[in-house]
Chains A and B, each alone.
Chain A
């Protein structure tokens, strides 16, 4: 190329779409997420050649095929490990992990915990539909108690895992939540995730139209969303509701949140808690909120940078290699050596 000075044309969302036919079920929430990711990449001016999508197994894990970037569709639950290896070999790549609730939290639960704990610089998108789709509808680790499925005909008796709480408990530095169809908020959250250096974990409530349709209607349906979701934003009061008159405050004398109504019982806007995304304990309280008692928290629940795994390794390598005093030949000759005959020198 001799046109280095010519600026490359800005890529659009379409430029991030591969030529492959998307084959999710009609109406699947994955389409909306795909669209949001492609828009996000265009908005942040990502380069296709520098972007890698890694996935495990499941409906969501077909995602890389639909991106005009580099992609690796791997095996059950192991995308975090593959991604870690990619970052070890080349920390400059922009790596996105696409996973589902079974993939990330069941078969890959171990790798999920350790990726987050290490704070590898990747975006981890968990498509949570609370069901196994690709294997035809069995309950998943996020399915609610009582879920009837081919493998739990009398209702699931297992307690579900909370993805965001697991991420926080694993030492996560960026924990966020979004809804598949809420394009604007989803794209904003993905941009925040992309900007964050370290593991940015985003749980996306994703509707499975075939096996668990409407699982999240209680807080995502058009008539419910305003009252049953709260979009948290750093520095802004935790206010929600159709009338924007509901809010969260700390229960007096207890480490707990409560929903209050502004204008009732003497509650004013000044009483409402202001979101501090660097407050880990607040992040945990927000992650713990479940409907119907509480609104479900969306947006960046917690964000506080920390040491990045591959950056620390690279620093160590660079510090050591820059002061390297030995060659591989020297390594082989360290310790006790002896010469036999000839003119070999004894070390």
Chain B
């Protein structure tokens, strides 16, 4: 960075080099922990580290201050090696109040660094957090390296020149703390300073106060005599990063951009119809800002209207897309059946959350797989694909647009709360270099013949309203294969059922053969995953391989139809283990499809797998098999 106002040349001579670290910021939901984490992510990306983040926030918009259920946290794992998860235990925990300490301490490594704002450890806060005694004084934190500072007072002092109210001054606490942590990890402050100036362009006093707080925290860290054993760290550039232009991207952003690019490649107007729901809404928000790219977004009156409007848009020659989370997808089920029956393109994004019913709206789960595959009335096959990481949402959204238009069929893309909110560095692709896949609209009369199907894809011709001579009627009632008119003929219903199934099954032609992510192509144990468990599974399997175990990682992106070679591939392994954030849904599918004795590793806690949990579970199976 040139032109920086900050002098970063004074690097502590005692900095210890780390190849990775996990930092978790936690505080009250009003403490700005997500912003703090986001800025740390930006600074870490600028420092050319690999990284992965995990925003973990409460369901309440503003829970009563100081309570454990109002704790908001942001975790980041960064390093010079390949980072595939947000990390297990934290090396550094920032706890802005007693409630955050209470909730988050179990995740801190023994010997890890704990930064606390002692100014918030007053009796009232301790009581609210459920502490009988002050943990800073009762010796219960002896296993950790505690940095105890009255951040509240230090922040107020740092911003005293700006004439803010006490409340406004205390709001700068998070940037003071961020400054401190920036020094610990040798991060550059300039990007954050620039961000603050942009964010508070209309309130320069607030911007300046936060910048002063950031600098004060940094300066204090630099000058204070730290406790024994406390050090500052350097995490070098990741050496294995492919050259190119990078940014950080969340799964929701990548999904939205993938839809925009996919519709452009299909040469269709994107009509995105949605109803707000956590954690799916950011896709709507992102696309709503892209109107200048001829993207229409429609906030419908409910989930059913959203999917129906998307179907109407596709019927009229646009690319209809709807997006929701599990409960909303349940409401859309009948209409998805209509889209299957009327054989028009439709993309359905499901950002899964923990259920059933309203469940845990801000927590993650993979429990909508069976709903996606089977959750409709009648024989109603659907193409289902799953993104495995934030940036993979971009690829999967484009693939969904491609399959939906090529096969004239609905496609569901599974994401989840974790990858939707999490961010990772992304090598920005060149949209102009991508291969377009424009859809042929049917134009030739003299009349519409619905029995014409593409010999390979079995897709019906797409004749849209406004085209002369091709007037026809479609709907949810069974149609004659020959004429498209309503038909109650038993043999015809069998034929149409078979054709719809064959069409979806035929999508396998466009699915690459299943590969192996890590480990040998056959052997004692295959760990088969799908969706956002990619990172933890891959790291766990890699660690076990490093230990000398023969374990393989297979990650399936195409869940229906399944890749053509998957059965044969799995047959080459003695054991097939399937970790899922549900009670065993994909394992059922694999057992059903391939008659194999696959076993589940399951977690339904609203939290992603930790690497060590998977290592332990896989190791146990591996040992049992010896």
Binding site for B on A (CB under 8 A): 18, 20, 47-55, 64-65, 67-76, 78, 80-90, 92-93, 110-111, 113-114, 313, 316-317, 320-321, 323-329, 331-333, 335-342, 344-347
Contact = CB atoms under 8 A, between A and B. Distances in A.
Contacts of B309: 81-82, 84-85, 88
A68 B470 CA distance: 10
Contacts of B469: 49
Interface stretch (B102-110, B290-298, B401-409): B290-298
B589 interface: no
B601 to A, nearest CB: 35
A72 B474 contact: yes
B60 to A, nearest CB: 28
B465 A52 contact: yes
B242 interface: yes
A50 to B, nearest CB: 6
A88 B291 CA distance: 13
Nearest to A67: B473
B589 to A, nearest CB: 28
A340 B243 contact: yes
Contacts of B313: 85-86, 88-89
Interface stretch (B40-48, B67-75, B354-362): B40-48
Contacts of A336: 42, 45-46, 191, 247-248
B296 A72 contact: no
B338 A90 contact: no
A328 B485 contact: no
Interface string B578-621: 00000000000000000000000000000000000000000000
Contact of B315 (A82, A316, A340): A82
B318 A88 contact: yes
Contact of A82 (B311, B429, B467, B471): B311
B496 to A, nearest CB: 16
Contact of A70 (B45, B302, B318, B471): B471
B244 interface: yes
B304 interface: yes
A324 B248 CA distance: 24
Contacts of A345: 245
B338 A74 contact: yes
Given A18-B473, A74-B338, A93 B298 contact: no
Interface stretch (B206-214, B221-229, B256-264): B256-264
A85 B310 contact: yes
B430 interface: yes
Given A78-B304, A86-B465, A114-B301, A328 B291 contact: no
Contact of A85 (B42, B316, B472): B316
Given A84-B309, A89-B313, A328-B257, A340 B244 contact: yes
Given A50-B465, A73-B475, A93-B466, A342 B312 contact: no
B305 A84 contact: yes
A74 B296 contact: no
Nearest to B448: A70
Contacts of B466: 49-50, 90, 92-93
B273 interface: yes
Contacts of A81: 300, 304-306, 308-309, 312
Contact of B293 (A70, A83, A324, A337): A324
B310 A75 contact: no
Given A85-B310, A337-B428, A71 B473 contact: yes
B431 A85 contact: no
Contacts of B311: 74, 82, 85
A95 to B, nearest CB: 9
A78 B308 contact: yes
B269 to A, nearest CB: 6
B476 A75 contact: yes
24 contacts: A48-B471, A71-B474, A74-B308, A74-B476, A81-B309, A83-B312, A84-B309, A84-B312, A85-B271, A85-B273, A85-B298, A85-B316, A86-B315, A87-B312, A89-B296, A89-B312, A110-B302, A317-B291, A320-B292, A321-B293, A331-B290, A337-B245, A337-B247, A342-B243
Contact of A340 (B246, B290, B335, B430): B246
Which of A89, A326, A331, A340 has the most B CB atoms < 10 Å from its CB? A89
A191 B527 CA distance: 66
A49 B292 contact: no
A113 B302 CA distance: 12
B320 interface: yes
Contacts of A68: 471
Contacts of B468: 47, 49
B245 A338 contact: yes
B334 interface: yes
Interface in B551-591: none
B241 A65 contact: no
Contact of B257 (A67, A327, A331): A331
A70 B473 contact: yes
A64 to B, nearest CB: 5
Which of B42, B48, B291, B305 has the most A CB atoms < 10 Å from its CB? B305
Contacts of B472: 70-71
Contacts of B476: 73-75
Nearest to B45: A338
B11 interface: no
Q: Which 6 A-B pairs have the closest CB atoms?
A: A85-B312, A73-B475, A342-B243, A89-B318, A85-B309, A341-B243
B292 A89 contact: no
B431 A90 contact: no
